Copies of this chain bind each other. A is one copy, B any other.
Amino acid sequence: MIDDYNNRMNTSFSVPEPSPDLLQQATLARRSARDLSQTTNDQRRFALNSMAEALLLRSREIVEANLEDIRRAKKVGLGQSLVARLKLDEAKLKDAIEGVRQVALLPDPLGLCQLGCELDDDLLLQRITVPLGVLGVIFEARPDAVIQIASLAIRSGNCAILKGGSEATKTNEIIMSTLQEGLSSSVVNAQSVSLLRTRQESMALLRLDGLVDLIIPRGSNELVRFIQDNTRIPVLGHADGICHLYIDSEVDLDQALKIAIDSKTDYPAACNAIETLLINKDVAESFLVKAIPAFNSLGVKLLGDDESRSLGIHNSATEKDWGSEYLDLTLAVKIVEDLDQAVDHITRYGSRHTDAIATTNQEKADIFLRSVDSAGVFHNCSTRFADGFRYGFGAEVGISTQTLPPRGPVGLEGLVTYRYQLRGNGHIASDYSSGIRQFTHRNCPHD
């Protein structure tokens, strides 16, 4: 699917106008969103459990449909790693179903009063959390994403229109019809989640501003960038994840090495893995003497600047490396003069995702946490903690490197917005501009 997007970018393909069918589907979703926004916490919880039940009942059929997709994928010569991501066996499906039940248990993100202010006698302002409306989700291979996204959407009171990779068509279709079957035994409209069938449609989705409130791309950096460039709808997510670990001069070297190894090797393809290691010159030699063999034994390829190569790193890092997200067992290494230079490097080359410092000096840690403007700034721990589940959100939609909220790992809270409710008793604005009445602006207790 992604190649498709790339080709289209290169040939300056323009996003097509939505078809009447798509417009109808989106209009239906928007209408369902209104009903969904009226449901209670218990009704949405019940809907999620109904979806889980339905998935459990149809487990065998889903796994069989997936085997069919896999057979076809192998036949057309899809790469091994893609086939692995496509796979949805009984164990994976069981986990996904358990995930739905867990999302059902999370606290309701809706209806919270975030702010209360009495503007004048009998004129009460409240800011209440409400669903966003309709989510448009475009994702690659992994078919369990349909289950996860549908449950997060319904839990947060949002409708969702999904488009998966064509490799997983059979799996996605049976999962979607099963989810809808589950919903139909609840008060939530079964059409609250639906699938797009053609690539043409998923491109046209980007044009549905006014009907779709948020686009969530789950896939490669290219997919995200293409979507960002071709829609007026807000896009949740991030393109690059260029994370850094800075090893300060005052440091517990063994702890720092452990953190460096985990940050790089725990899951190198993740966006929160580090791509560049910055080492203070004062500890560079003593750190690298331990780190080089350790990384070598784990199969990590090190690329160094001049200074670090003089300390035993063989391959050289070029300017391009500082801005590269390897998503692989490769790590660029640079020796820096001091904390300031480390922060400068991160500011220049980083992607404001997650950056960490290893130091025993609390003051330097504070400076780092204050000056590095990334969604996550960590002290003495692995960058791999940048994750909604690990943060305790219970679910994750994605990680946003946008500076506006939601920023960082996004859980259910990121799928809701707020609305200002104002209740008066005939209050008119001209009374205040003319000076007949004055605002009291008395804060009211809330939640």
Residues of A within 8 A of B (CB): 30, 33-34, 37-38, 117, 119, 123, 125, 130, 132-133, 213-214, 228-229, 232, 234, 252, 255, 258-259, 261-263, 266, 343, 347, 365, 369-371, 373-382, 384-386, 390-392, 402-409, 417-430, 432-433, 439, 441
Contact = CB atoms under 8 A, between A and B. Distances in A.
Contacts of A409: 420
Copies per assembly: 2
Contacts of A30: 347
A255 B422 contact: no
Given A213-B404, A234-B403, A404-B404, 15 more contacts: A30-B347, A37-B371, A117-B392, A119-B392, A262-B429, A266-B428, A266-B430, A376-B419, A379-B421, A379-B422, A385-B429, A386-B422, A392-B441, A403-B417, A405-B418
A391 B125 contact: yes
A255 B426 contact: yes
Contact of A123 (B229, B373, B376, B381): B381
Contact of A373 (B130, B382, B422): B130
A252 B119 contact: no
Contact of A213 (B255, B382, B403): B403
B229 A385 contact: no
A377 B421 contact: yes
Contact of A214 (B403, B430, B441): B403
Most buried by B among A371, A392, A418: A392
A374 B428 contact: no
B429 A404 contact: no
Most buried by B among A379, A386, A405: A405
A404 B42 CA distance: 25
A405 B33 CA distance: 18
B426 A259 contact: yes
Contact of A133 (B365, B373, B428): B373
Nearest to A407: B417
Most buried by B among A117, A119, A375, A430: A430
Contact of A259 (B419, B423, B428): B428
